[in-house]
A and B are shown apart, each in its own frame.
Chain A
């Protein structure tokens, strides 16, 4: 079935450390993988996305890697700051009449000063 699994569900790091969140997906035809950040009480906002024709994409302190063979992708945040504390969601496009996003269950990241 259509499924995106996300790990870990919670992650606690010290300021300045790196954080890695991993997701796996079930549909080998998926070709678009966005990551959303949701601060407490706010809406999800896109922070980075990757399409299947590339293996890695960077934007300042965040990067996403994609392994299509293994059907997994990861979010990497370097030099974490307290303002990175939020819930992060991965998602993947599933086809079949209509391209719809299926989200992972989320990772609550806490960055401690």
Chain B
């Protein structure tokens, strides 16, 4: 039981390049989330998917798109990367969309030059 997995672990992009961050969970959870973590700012929600087939914006969605591919997988896409998107990205999942414990993946460290 791997829990929540993310790929890649680390990525360097040039401004304007695109990339997709992958996330998968094997806990049969309904809800999945993408956060970014910047120094001194905690974790901020980018997008979430309350259940398979639905996605919605969080606090900081600009510059990102998501796809809930199936119940297990939730991807985050940067269409045209900017230096302001340099951050550590965490995917998380929970059983449902209520007051449920969220389990985090190991993170993807992204550097945009």
State the A residues within 8 Å of B (CB): 6, 9, 31-32, 34, 42-46, 49, 51, 89, 93, 98-106
In angstroms, how far is the closest chain A Cβ from the Cβ of B26?
16
> Using Cβ atoms and an 8 Å threshold, which residues of chain B touch A34?
101-102
- Select the stretch in B36-44, B66-74, B77-85 that faces chain A: B36-44
Q: Which residues in chain B, 90-104, are within 8 Å of chain A measured between CB atoms?
A: 90, 97-99, 101-104
Bound-state Cα–Cα, A83 to B80, Å: 40
Asked if B42 and A45 sit within 8 Å, CB to CB, the answer is: no
State the B residues within 8 Å of A (CB): 40-45, 48, 50, 56, 58-59, 90, 97-99, 101-107
Asked if A104 and B97 sit within 8 Å, CB to CB, the answer is: no
Bound-state Cα–Cα, A51 to B101, Å: 12
Shortest Cβ distance from A46 into B: residue: B101
Contact of A104 with B42 at beta-carbon distance under 8 Å, contacts A43-B90, A45-B104, A98-B56 already known: yes
Asked if B42 and A105 sit within 8 Å, CB to CB, the answer is: yes
Contact of A105 with B50 at beta-carbon distance under 8 Å, contacts A43-B104, A43-B106, A45-B104 already known: no
Asked if A101 and B42 sit within 8 Å, CB to CB, the answer is: no
> Using Cβ atoms and an 8 Å threshold, which residues of chain B touch A6?
42
Shortest Cβ distance from A97 into B: residue: B56
Bound-state Cα–Cα, A101 to B35, Å: 11
**CB < 8 Å: which of A31, A32, A106 contacts B42?**
A106
14 examples of A-B residue contacts, CB within 8 angstroms: A9-B40, A31-B99, A42-B106, A43-B104, A43-B106, A43-B107, A45-B104, A46-B102, A89-B43, A98-B56, A98-B97, A101-B45, A103-B44, A104-B42
